[in-house]
Structure 1
Amino acid sequence: MGVTIRAADPADREATVALWEAAGLTRPWNDPRADFDLALSTPTSVVLLAEAGRDLHGSVMVGFDGHRGWVYYLATSPDRRGQGIGRQLMLAAEDWLKAHGSPKIQLMVRGDNLAARGFYDALGYEVQDVVTIGKRFAPNP
């Protein structure tokens, strides 16, 4: 069964967050509802959804910071993995970024997530020689 890709709207928030939770993408120190709402509140980001009929089977959050594109929350329903939905979502994310003038795309993957690293490798993504440096403004719960 194929899927249709579309931009999310505010009514999609709870189903999308439930998908992120089922896919194991949420962390206690991040508020996925706030992330979803913020992504929809600006023209430089979008949440794309993969649906079959009325059923949500995948999502990806995409943003352009003016210098490069970023991808977050790529998720496929656990029962639909291996069916090409993640690939379709990444192609849609790339198309959205190109249409918004982004010269490149980047994403972060936890170092021990070998399945995700293999997925992105198969799509032509390469590990880059950079170090991510950050500072948290609020303590982790």
Structure 2
Amino acid sequence: MNELRVRAATPRDLDAVLAFWKTAAEGTSISDDRDGVERLVARDPEALILAETGGELAGTVIAGFDGWRCHLYRLAVHPDHRRRGIASALLTAAEDRFVRLGGRRADAMVLQDNGTAHHAWAAAGYAPEERWRRWVKPLTP
């Protein structure tokens, strides 16, 4: 197997990331467009973490920290690269980032009916928190 490289995304990576999510991520979001991802990387250049193997994008995670809470989004691994420790490496990088920034608790946005993801998150030590339900509203200017 090729060596795994984990690094922060750069603006040059964004088109590849958007194309990758169409293949590797379950579902899409209103912010899955060039403008949305550019804003993320411009605001927090270390938030979008990529995993590469053999020079090819194999996985992503967004590790957002607002100064108070740590949020994980878009953990995705390409179907051809699953079950090789890529998600674990991405989560380790995200959690290390949170600790460096002073974060104390991480939460993840996970689709309710994505059973495969639920198993992966549980294996990484995350648990569903039934007490809280997320409510979301798309924001438009």
TM-score, normalised on structure 2? 0.88
Q: How does 1:112-127 map to 2 (within 5 A)?
A: 112-127=113-128
Q: Name the CA distance, whole Å, in 1 between partners of 2:49 and 2:30.
A: 23
CA deviation profile, 1:49-82 (whole Å, cap 9, x unmatched): 1112321111111110121111111111110011
Q: How does 1:15-34 map to 2 (within 5 A)?
A: 15-27=16-28, 29-34=30-35
C-alpha displacement of 1:8: 0.8
TM-score, normalised on structure 1? 0.88
Q: Quote the residue 2:66 is aligned against.
A: 65
Q: Quote the residue 1:108 is aligned against.
A: 109
C-alpha displacement of 1:10: 0.4
Gaps of 5+ in 2: none
Paired letter, 1:131: R
Whether the 8 Å CA contact 1:39–1:45 is kept in 2: the answer is no
Q: Quote the residue 2:138 is aligned against.
A: 136
C-alpha displacement of 1:41: 1.0
Q: Name the CA distance, whole Å, in 2 between partners of 1:35 and 1:26.
A: 16
Q: Quote the residue 2:15 is aligned against.
A: 14
Q: Name the CA distance, whole Å, in 1 between partners of 2:90 and 2:64.
A: 14
Q: Give RMSD over aligned pairs.
A: 1.7
Q: Name the CA distance, whole Å, in 2 between partners of 1:131 and 1:28.
A: 18
Matched, 1:35 2:36: yes
Q: Quote the residue 1:99 is aligned against.
A: 100
Runs of 4+ in structure 1 deviating by more than 6 angstroms, as ranges, are none
Identity %: 34
Q: Name the CA distance, whole Å, in 1 between partners of 2:13 and 2:58.
A: 12
C-alpha displacement of 1:31: 3.0
Q: Name the CA distance, whole Å, in 1 between partners of 2:48 and 2:5.
A: 14
Deviates more, 1:124-133 or 1:25-34: 25-34
| Alignment coverage as a number of residue pairs | 138
